[in-house]
Chains A and B, each alone.
Chain A
Amino acid sequence: MSVELDVFVGNTTIMDKEVYQLWLNGYTVNDAVKVRIEGGVMEECEASAEVLLSDTMDQYRTFQMCERLLHHPAKLANQLLFQFHPQIPPDRQAMLIERYYAFDDSFVREVLGKKLSKGTKKDLDDVSTKTGITLKSCRRQFDNFKRVFKVVEELKGPLVENIRQHFLLPDQLARDYAAIVFFANNRFETGKKKLHYLTFQDFAFCAGQLINNWTLGAVDNIMDDMDVDLDKEFLQELKDLKILITDKDLLDQHKSLVCTALRGKTNVFNEMEANFKNLSRGLVNIAAKLINAKDVRDFFIDLVEKFIEPCRSDKWTSIDVNLYLTHYTNSAHILDTFKHHAVWTRYMGVIKSCILRMYHD
């Protein structure tokens, strides 16, 4: 004896925010019912567990029906299947979309920079075990990344704007997705142990820097350029910076300029002075190698290994780092034989803000 079929359909679609979140989190119906019971909704409304089960299943079905539309949020506005509450349709729809596209930082850290392929998707159960996020939710988040990636990949124009328009996401979320797309496209390595201390927001910040300064779309505003790839010409020019470390005179000159400027302004002056050549070599080498796609992937690990770790072991504060990088950047312009000012500025601007962002425990 059993209820074989049980449906409820309202002329205006009833969606419970709380249940929506449970669904997004990948809870099974039974688990969701448990959570709801603990939440005390039963006492509130004189309901029984059966009623709650029926309601939860019904809500889940509604969400599943709605999911198809959420994959193309622009359709949600002129679809006919669901009628949302007449007074607040835009809010309600925005909420649905935003929550559907929201992701867990711990999840995104696991897949950031990975190829959004079937292979990665197969490994999601490991990710799920590791993060404690349900597999269902992992899949949803992964599919969201992939969907956004596929749509934007082919589009011209500014990345963030494209995402915002196609997926009707709020600004911050659109930026995060831009970062995810950018990382996936350039396959930046983020999973190495040394990078574990970095949060998604650190990377998202860096991605924003890269997108805004190092892509083709960053320099000229021609709309048919894309934001997802780094400016090849710029990468090529970066090789010219090598002169800063290969030319012995230039290197010495650079060092003395920086040291002069820093003297007396920091507690770690000695370490700075001692490490200058090392650090400079590190940063310039990163620049010179970026023309190789493989080295682009190691960009962040290189920054950490070549710059952040040495500084940290010498107990620089971030103020020290800021000070050092400022003078390091500016001094180069005073070097008489150094000609590549524009490239240097474009390069160091991003490097500086990335390092500063990444310089924490």
Chain B
Amino acid sequence: MPGKLKAKIVAGRHLPVMDRASDLTDAFVEVKFGNTTFKTDVYPKSLNPQWNSEWFKFEVDDEDLQDEPLQITVLDHDTYSANDAIGKVYIDIDPLLCSEAATVISGWLPIYDTIHGIRGEINVLVKVDLFNDLNRFRQSSCGVKFFCTTSIPRCYRAIMVHGFVEELVVNEDPEYQWIDRIRTPRASNEARQRLIFLMSGELQRKIGLKVLEMGGNAVVGYLQCFDLEGESGLVVRAIGTACTLEKISTFPATATYPSNSSPSKDMKEPGFGEETPGVPLSSGPPTPLRAQTFSSFSPSKSYSRQSSSSDTELSLTPKTGMGSGGSAGKEAGPLKALLRQQTQSALEQREYPFFTLTAFPPGFLLHVGGVVSARSVKLLDRIHNPDEPETRDAWWEEIRQEIKSHAKALGCHAVVGYSESTSICEEVCILSASGTAAILSSRFMQDGPLDAEHRFEEVVSPGCGFCHIPYDELNIPFPAQLTYCYCCRHYKVPDVLFTTIDLPTEANVTGKGCLIQARLCRTKKKAQGEGNATAISNLLPFLEYELHTQLMNKLKLRGMNALFGLRIQISVGETMLLGLASATGVYLTALPSPGGIQITGKTPSDITYEQHISNMQKKINDTITKNKELYEINPPEVVEEIIGSPIPEPCQRSRLFRSHSESSDEVSELDLSHGKKDAFVLEIDDTDAVEDIHALLTDFSIPAGFYSCNTEIMPGIQNWTSAIQMFTSVRVFRLNNANLTNQGLNKIFSDLCENLLKSLYFKLRSMVPCCLCHLNFTVAIPEDELIQVAVTAVAMSFDKEQSLENGKQSGEKTLIKAITDEQLQFNLELNAETSSSNPLSSPKGITMEKASPLPEGRSRSLRSNRSYSGSSVAVVKMTPLSFIPGAKIIRYLGIINMFFIRETTSLREEGGVSGFLHTFIAEVFAMVRAHVAALGGNAVVSYSMKECVFMENPNKNQAQCLINVSGDAVIFVRESELELTSVQPQSATTQTSNCGEGT
């Protein structure tokens, strides 16, 4: 009996009128946990009842505490007939189970009904007394912290990164049970909501257990999804990265930026203490080749090799067939021999060396190989035994194996920025996984080897290291052009780099970035069963190929050479497949300048045709020039600027082995005169290509003052103001004409996305200059002839002038944000070191803490007077990012993971589909905010809407929608408030402290 849950029902307000005669309500409340139910007294004839109940106490196992939500039902008492339900509140107890998270849930929570929406609010108090349970065989995992954030949370530092955790649970979907024919829609919806709550709780508990087994205490980058498989069941699955985190207790230096700022110094001891001094990369029989690589690299300042390109994923992935996920095995076959010879790091011995993180502690990510992805098409069958979800497990296993082998083929031992998704249509399901092949430092790996080299390098990590190819240039698994790094001149880099991760903060970037999307629609025949699955499998490679080509063209058109945050979504419908690839394009200084796009015609004889082509060519060239200006891409003339080391020796080697790979002929490493040579050739041989180019050129240009990206931050933009606006926008487009060509569909789909973006810019015009960050598009085909696009993002204003008068502030922000300036970065590192070794730093921390209470308290009270005077509702910020500009997150209160269903049988009366969904989304936001506020928080970070399933039947005047949202509830404090406290005591050590805070 290791836990006691206590709940108190205080009051209600704004209740709906339940008794038409009196225009009042006789409300009472049922409080249910597990199988125990308590009731309050009836508070007669009031819309604002004051129950002030006793404490209802539930004595329960902590296992139940993790699985079950506290269920609060508000009812209207009726003497003569059954009591009418007003609505429910589900409260996730999980945040109370962790000592570092919230301690009490207290506040006004919306009372929600799946048919009527929010119906008033209820004020509750919930607490948990947890007794310590030292039972080794326990089934609970209380105390394991969960974070949606895909980086190390701001006020923690990573001691250890243990690796991949995954779990899935399955059940029958209540909506498809026989009983659903006789029960009301409300009962059915509530059964579903409750079931998903339970399953999420169970899933989280099971993952927690795995984490404890691995010796961790937290899951970072926790990604939970559910698959509505219809008849065949309901799957809730989750992946994440197990870590051992330590709360940063000292107030000061590590202020804002990826928390573990200076891990190399302060955390080395605990981290390395347990490391076995094995030699990782040479534990296997080292090939002479590898060895050589190493010896030549090690003395130099930075990491070894580099990374890849996109082409990878192209050539490797598409071969997904139904029932067999292992296609890559075949492709990678020739490589295997070689790979086997290669050294295996400890990482490779893990089952899945995957990491859901997209941003990393400095020095953790060494090299990036490129995007790896795998898809497989499956036919759903009924899940017979919910306790043994083996088929689904096996499916994912196949996919993960494939990903792993792709990564190996790129010479990488790990996959970062890893994610999984599904798309279901009737009985066909596409499973997808993608990530970025990478080589990681062993520093955060418990069982990882001690890699002397890397430890060395970490101290000086220039912004180009991660670009250096990790694979052997002689055995490139795909055609690529390699050149010497434009930063360090020592190592090879690919011509383009595609990744699924965020832009590393230390990366050297030229100019600004922008959102790049490839959109594609492919029609397919209606089919059933295996035939359908085969047809889809056959289409997938083409889809991916074309998406890739589009991405590449658009990237070149913008004069950029790398993509971050790449997310390819493929959605399946009955008569079409949709593909949407989104990423943020940037110009990595380390990579060669991209060549232009050159188009050629197939029939040169025709003069008008020639004319046409040359016109187009001109247009393309103009666009590239314009874009370069727009995104401020003026790469330095590298050759002259770089000192010394013209052509290092390794190139000879590569020449020797030239014949080895097909790509070798275009490698031409000696040609350092940069990129013009490799103009991308587009051949116009049919109308398709013409259309494509047209589409390319007609992409809408962003209005002045706006920037957009789908990553956390935008390179080249600093000094964010505190104005942020998170939003969700959903559009559904109906194709009335069934006989559309692929081109026609493409155009429609592309226009849909473009128009959506245009509307966003218009909506947010008052925030200019501003950047739309973390633009997350999801597409779906809810039914035949419907295309649904949903976007969640945050708009953040920034100051145009990097005003020097508040140099401190902007300085800090500069450091928080993408660090493009090497000088700055150098400072930062230097100071990180000095501050940790410097005795001055600790007294500083103390004085600051001492100084803080007074001014901070004052400023807070001032602020609260000002901003809350008019309303009793606290403001809760929401953002899909892991941070809040100009603020410091001081505490994580727990994960928010909420699932809601809303249904209506009076669609017209609620303002049609738009009115219905608008209200529902607003209600979901309101409920998220209320729950965060009840936990004591004032913001949600890493917020995402993972599911928005919308179904309608206008003829019946009905609609239904399911929404799943998640995020991390946090408490943040404005930096301006902190500043008051920190400025004075620091005056003596201004320089250090400035930089210290930035770190």
Contact = CB atoms under 8 A, between A and B. Distances in A.
Interface of A: 1-12, 14, 44-48, 50-52, 54-55, 57-58, 61-62, 64-65, 75, 77-83, 86-87, 89-90, 93-94
A26 B255 CA distance: 51
B917 A5 contact: yes
Given A8-B759, A78-B872, A1 B729 contact: no
Contacts of A9: 727-729, 918, 921-922, 925
Nearest to A42: B762
A65 B873 CA distance: 18
Given A80-B108, A80-B118, A8 B727 contact: yes
B732 interface: yes
Interface in B847-893: 867, 869-873, 875-878
Given A4-B734, A5-B950, A75-B14, A65 B748 contact: no
Interface in B897-950: 911, 913-915, 917-919, 921-923, 925-926, 929-930, 950
B972 to A, nearest CB: 13
Contacts of A64: 911, 915
Given A61-B915, A79-B873, A86-B875, A54 B759 contact: yes
Contact of B759 (A12, A55, A61, A87): A55
A5 B759 contact: no
Contacts of B786: 4
B735 A1 contact: yes
Contacts of A81: 118, 922-923, 926
Given A45-B765, A64-B915, A79 B748 contact: no
Contacts of B110: 80
A45 B703 contact: yes
Given A11-B726, A81-B922, A3 B733 contact: yes
Contacts of A82: 922
B875 A83 contact: yes
Nearest to A48: B758
Contact of A51 (B758, B877, B918): B758
A45 B870 contact: no
B13 interface: yes
B92 interface: no
A10 B723 CA distance: 13
Nearest to A69: B14
A1 B737 contact: yes
Most buried by B among A57, A61, A77: A61
Top 8 closest A-B pairs, CB basis? A90-B870, A5-B732, A86-B875, A10-B727, A9-B921, A11-B726, A7-B918, A46-B703
A47 B871 contact: no
B761 interface: yes
Given A6-B732, A50-B755, A86-B875, 20 more contacts: A1-B734, A3-B731, A3-B732, A5-B731, A6-B730, A7-B730, A11-B725, A11-B726, A45-B762, A48-B758, A51-B758, A51-B762, A58-B918, A61-B918, A77-B870, A77-B871, A78-B873, A79-B873, A80-B108, A87-B867
B997 interface: no
Contacts of A5: 730-732, 788, 913-914, 917, 950
A66 to B, nearest CB: 10
Interface in B593-623: none
B968 interface: no
A11 B729 contact: no
Q: Is the interface of B mostly helix, strand, loop or mixed?
A: mixed
Contact of B121 (A1, A45, A80): A80
Contacts of B760: 8
B734 A2 contact: yes
A10 B733 CA distance: 21
A144 to B, nearest CB: 20
Contacts of B923: 81
A149 B383 CA distance: 62
Contacts of B748: 1
Nearest to B734: A4
16 contacts: A2-B736, A4-B732, A5-B731, A5-B913, A9-B925, A11-B925, A14-B725, A46-B761, A50-B758, A51-B762, A61-B911, A61-B914, A65-B922, A79-B873, A80-B118, A87-B867
A86 B867 contact: yes
B763 interface: yes
B729 A78 contact: no
B950 A83 contact: no
Given A51-B758, A80-B121, A80-B926, A89 B734 contact: no
Most buried by B among A45, A50, A79: A45
Contacts of B725: 10-12, 14
Interface of B: 13-14, 108, 110, 118, 121, 703-704, 725-737, 748, 755, 758-763, 765, 786, 788, 867, 869-873, 875-878, 911, 913-915, 917-919, 921-923, 925-926, 929-930, 950
Given A5-B731, A86-B867, A65 B919 contact: yes
A89 B871 CA distance: 8
Given A5-B917, A82-B922, A93 B871 contact: yes
Nearest to B755: A50
Contacts of A89: 867, 870-871, 875
B929 A80 contact: yes
B733 to A, nearest CB: 6
B737 A55 contact: no
Contacts of A79: 14, 873
Contacts of A46: 703-704, 761
Contacts of A58: 763, 918
A82 B871 CA distance: 12
B106 to A, nearest CB: 15
A83 B877 CA distance: 10
A23 B870 CA distance: 25
A9 B876 CA distance: 15
A14 B730 CA distance: 16
Contacts of B730: 5-7
Given A14-B763, A75-B14, A6 B914 contact: yes
A293 to B, nearest CB: 29
A47 to B, nearest CB: 5
Contacts of A77: 870-873
A7 B729 contact: yes
A54 B732 CA distance: 13
Contacts of B734: 1-4
Most buried by A among B734, B737, B922: B922
B926 A6 contact: no
B731 A47 contact: no
Contacts of A45: 703, 761-762, 765
A94 B871 CA distance: 12
A201 B204 CA distance: 66
A7 B914 contact: yes
Contacts of B878: 11
A81 B876 CA distance: 12
B703 to A, nearest CB: 4
B121 A47 contact: no
A48 B761 CA distance: 11
B877 A11 contact: yes
A47 B872 CA distance: 38
A7 B762 contact: no
Contact of B13 (A3, A14, A48, A78): A78
Contacts of A93: 870-871
Contacts of A57: 914
Nearest to A168: B870
B929 to A, nearest CB: 7
Nearest to B731: A6
A2 B786 CA distance: 10
Most buried by B among A1, A6, A62: A6
Nearest to A93: B870
Most buried by A among B121, B788, B870, B926: B870
B736 A83 contact: no
A255 to B, nearest CB: 59
A329 B877 CA distance: 66
